[in-house]
Amino acid sequence: MKNPRPFLTPLLAGLCLLLLPRIASAEEASVPLFNGRNLDGWTIFTPDKDLPTSNNLFEVTEGTLHTYPGAVNGSKQPIGYLITNAEYSNYRLSLEYKWGTGKYIPRADPDVARDAGVCYHVQAPNVIWPTAMECQIQEGDTGDAWLIHTQATSRVHPDTTGYWPPSQKGGVEVTKGEKPNVYRRFIRHYCHEQPGWNRVELVVRGNRASYFVNGHLVNEVTQLKQWDETAKAWVPLTKGKILLQAEGAEIFYRNVTIQSLPPA
């Protein structure tokens, strides 16, 4: 009997080539969370209903989300956010932002940094600010992790208290958010913000998240929890809505996409 291997080898190679696209497509592609045309899938929230710009706190301009369009620099403006209608868990969120020139009361002072942020695992109700985890977007502080009525653990340097990657020696695990209804912060590793457009990426898997700024890992938080008033205990925080903040500074957001990821 002739050896069948010479015929099997090219056959197997051909099958592998056919299967490769299917294997590659097992990880879902990123899809727009903001479609670049309108606010479908999102809701604007602000408690400052009496201010004239409260109804158009966010406006779609040439494919970007523009906060405070047409507002007079130095004027009093509402604080609020744009929040998704749907909840999400296990995903990669990516967006780009750049600062405008406008600054408004209560952040109009020249010495006050421009401030905004992206929150995830956001819980009801809509208030300023709802239970959530935040990736800070602020001049000089982009990548800080804010715990808004939540609890989390991170690895920090004992002297600087900033995030310290596992690849470097000397870090210690610290848990913050020791009681409900408080704000706590984990400082980023370094600030990689640059003039013009910046890219922020959050990799969120269940009750943990990694923050990237312009491709650099700047923060990680684990063991995310929210307070359960009924049980009088901290419980895992694994899903929620996503929101983009407007905090008294003109900012543009664009290329807001989300990619579904398998659970960790």
In this structure, the chain runs to a length of 264
Mean pLDDT in residue range 2-8: 47
Question: How confident is residue 20, by pLDDT bands cut at 50, 70 and 90?
Answer: very low
Q: Residues 68-103: pLDDT tens digits? A: 999 999 999 999 999 999 999 999 999 999 999 999
| Number of domains the chain contains | 1
For residue 2, is pLDDT > 50?
Answer: no
7 occurs within a structural domain: no
The domain that holds 177 is classified in CATH as 2.60.120.560
Residue with token string 């130095």 = 74
What pLDDT does residue 225 have? 98
Cβ within 8 Å of residue 210, ≥6 positions away:
202, 203, 217, 219, 220
Q: Over the chain, what is the mean pLDDT?
A: 90
H or E segment to which residue 5 belongs: helix 5-24
List pLDDT tens digits, range 181-203: 899 999 999 999 999 999 999 99
Q: How confident is the model at residue 180 (pLDDT cuts 50, 70, 90)?
A: confident
Domain that includes residue 116, residue range: 29-260
In a domain, 82, yes or no: yes
Model pLDDT, residue 54: 65
Indicate whether 237 belongs to any domain.
yes
| 23 in a structural domain | no
The amino acid sitting at 237 is: L
pLDDT digits (tens, 9 = 90+) for 222-252: 999 999 999 999 999 999 999 999 999 999 9
Distance, CA of 67 to CA of 53 (rounded, Å): 10
Place of tokens 């659970």: 263
Asked whether residue 13 is domain-assigned, the answer is no
98 burial via Cβ count (<10 Å: 0-12, 13-18, 19+): middle
Residue 216 falls inside a structural domain: yes
pLDDT band at 123; cut points 50, 70, 90: very high
Does residue 22 fall inside a structural domain?
no
pLDDT grade, residue 56 (50/70/90)? Answer: confident
Q: What is the pLDDT of residue 196?
A: 97
In the predicted model, what is the mean pLDDT of residues 94-116?
A: 95
Residue 6 lies in a domain: no
